[in-house]
Amino acid sequence: MHAPPLPAPDLTLDTSGRLCPYPIVEIARAMKGLSAGAVVCVLATDPGIATDMPMWCRATRNEHLGTFREGSAFRSWVRKRGAP
C-alpha cells in the first residue's frame, strides 16, 4: 500500500533495526525540541509501530497522520499538537 500525499517531514527519525519501545522513545524525545505543527516521519522495521504509534499519539494528543508498510519497513507520520 502506498502512502497518500503527506506533508514533507520537518524531521525524519530512522529507528530501523530497533525494537519497541525505541521508536516511541525516540519520537517522544524529538518532539520536545519541535514547534507545534511540525511533522515527524519515523522509519522502523519493528511491525509493532503500526499499533504503538497511533496509541502513543492518542495518549499524547499528537496527530497520527498514518503508518504505511513499505516492504519490510514502515513509515509513520506524526504532527506535533498545537497550532503551527
Query: CB-based contacts of 57: which residues, under 8 Å, 6+ apart?
Result: 63, 64, 78
Q: Could you list the active site residues?
A: 20
Q: Are 53 and 60 within 8 A, CB to CB?
A: no
CA angle 35, 61, 63 (to 5 degrees): 70
| Backbone angles phi and psi of 17, in degrees to 5 | 85, -5
